[in-house]
A = this chain, B = another copy of it.
Amino acid sequence: MRDDKFCNSNCPFTRAIGTIGNKWKPIIINVMGTRTIRFGQLDAIVPHISRKVLTEQLKELEQDGILERLAYKELPPRVEYRLSERGLAFLPILESIKEWQAKFEIFSPVEHN
């Protein structure tokens, strides 16, 4: 899933893209926002993601220090996720992407004839 060529690049920007440059991670970070959220909630809220892929993405985000995982030793298990300082610092970037999209999106709805 993660590309070693990117993550081990000597260019910091390339490493950054290796960390957050795929389609799921910005979506997950955006959904999390400033709240603490459980695995099942993420699974329900993030559209079209499978549990397997969600697990993988969360694991990588944790490894990259973008979120924190809090597992409570209960049964049934309870696991909470929340953004780290690094993850929270990424939220304004997502906001500017939203502004960019709103400002420049080309509206060309797909017609099905």
Question: Shortest 3 CB-CB distances between A and B: which pairs?
Answer: A16-B101, A86-B104, A21-B23
Give the number of copies in the complex. 2
A1-51 at interface with B (beta carbon < 8 Å)? 3, 5-6, 8-9, 12-23, 26-27, 30, 47-48
Q: Is A102 an interface residue (CB 8 A)?
A: yes
Q: Is A106 an interface residue (CB 8 A)?
A: yes
On chain A, the number of residues with a Cβ less than 8 Å from chain B's Cβ atoms is 42
Contact of A47 among B9, B18, B105, B106 (CB under 8 A): B9
| Mask: chain A, 89-106; 1 = CB below 8 Å from B; 0 = not | 110111011101111111
Residues from chain B with Cβ under 8 Å of A90 in the complex: 100
